[in-house]
Amino acid sequence: MGNVIHRGTGLELVQSGRVESNGVRHMVTRDGRRRVTITDVASHARVSTTAVSKVLRNAYGVSEAMRVKVQAAIDELGYRPQAAARAMRGRTFTFGVVLPHIRNPFFADILDGFDEQIAGAGYQAIIVQGSGRDAEAEVRAIDALVDRQVDGILVVAAVIARARLEEMARNTPTVVLGRHDRSAVYDSVLDDDEAGAELAVEHLIALGHRRIAHITQKDVGAVRSVTLLHTIRARTYERVMAEHGLAEHIALAATAYTEEGGHQGTCELLARTPRPTAIFAGADQAAFGALAAIHEAGLAVPGDVSVVGYDNARAAALSHISLTSVDQDGIIMGKTAGRLLLERIEGRTTAVRFSVTPTLVTRRSTAPPA
């Protein structure tokens, strides 16, 4: 009778995070416990993995008794399905959101609506930053989501070429938010920027302003910018001015929809002679920068210069700022985007276009010119 010498514990932690034992390798948590898998649940409940899988997806062909038994095993073991393994075969129950950056509070509204809508259907949103308004970074962000097999993608304020969006949309359900091009393959959610810009400019004209300037965003990338929202707002500004015989007073500063951009653009505009009596900023962030620049120039709002923003961010309502702004309902836009993705997954193949109508919220940053 030979002696059997036990070497090691039979359960050794190796560097790669796997346990080696009798030549069998398993994914383990780093503190040595194996992660609970569907097989564990199956054997614990004395059923097949198929049955467990069916219960998980509440698929057809499982009796109530089976459902209860399996659910008990799941709860007892604290089992959670691994998204990666699911992705290999089917859905990930994940939607991806591409934001240019997370600094704009308006995106937070969109996201809140989106989250609320999809959570009910068991989906999780993951966000990736497109790092500013750089087209290349946006492509990288989208690729990252495609690589992770998300079931749908929401792209906010995309700057990349439409062809690229369509290519993606042919493979993954896609909603594009805040772009005005019409596509047959992806869904669109947008604000009627033309109506919004009209509200802003008409409001200023009605107050008696004639020298009304506009702060817009500089174009980047090769996309036909006429489909981008900032271009629509700028074009509409020019059109409304012209319609009122104010074409000669059109004054544009192309910077960025940020505090810095608004500040810089306003400095440029105020340096002109005669200087404008009103500024329509394409976004609240830019309007805040404008307020600062006007203040720095020793001028008063609305006494010397009236200011209108766009987005109606929460800060616009604060009484020491009190910015007149165009309100678009970000929550609804986000909710709708979520609903459209869910519909696509349910099988819809025709493209849908959803537009919200903006309203003007007048506050103390606008008044008749002196």
Considering only 126, 222, 242, 247, the residue that binds a second copy (CB under 8 A) is: 126
Cβ 37 to DNA shortest distance, Å: 4
Q: How far is CA 365 from CA 40, 309, 326, in A?
A: 64, 10, 13
Element (H, E) at 204: helix 193-206
**Three-class secondary structure of residue 334 per DSSP:** helix
Cα 179 from Cα 50, distance rounded (Å):
44
- The secondary structure of 271-317 as a DSSP string is TSSSPPSEEEESSHHHHHHHHHHHHHTT--TTTT-EEEEES--GGGG
- Measured over the CA atoms of residue 96, residue 102, residue 106 and residue 112, the dihedral's sign is positive
24 binds a second copy (CB under 8 A): no
Cβ 122 to DNA shortest distance, Å: 11
Whose Cβ is closer to a second copy: residue 70's or residue 141's?
A: 141
Give the count of residues interacting with a second copy (CB under 8 A).
Answer: 58
Cβ 287 to a second copy shortest distance, Å: 11
Of 74, 110, 46, 115, the C-alpha closest to 328 is 110
Considering only 67, 81, 235, 367, the residue that binds a second copy (CB under 8 A) is: 81
87 binds a second copy (CB under 8 A): yes
Q: Are 221 and 136 in contact (CB under 8 A)?
A: no
346 binds a second copy (CB under 8 A): no
By CB under 7 A, name the binding residues for DNA.
Answer: 16, 23-27, 34-35, 37-39, 46-51, 53-54, 56-57, 59, 61-63, 65-66, 79, 81-82, 85-86, 88-91
Cβ 14 to DNA shortest distance, Å: 7
Q: Are 147 and 89 in contact (CB under 8 A)?
A: no
Instruction: From 118-126, 189-197, 212-220, 270-278, give the range in contact with a second copy by CB under 8 A.
Output: 118-126
Please name the residue that has the structure tokens 């500063």.
253
Which residues form the interface with a second copy (CB under 8 A)?
Answer: 15-16, 29-31, 80-85, 87-88, 90, 92, 94, 101-103, 105, 107-108, 111, 115, 124-129, 131, 143-144, 146-149, 170-172, 259-260, 263, 288-289, 291-296, 314-315, 318-321, 347
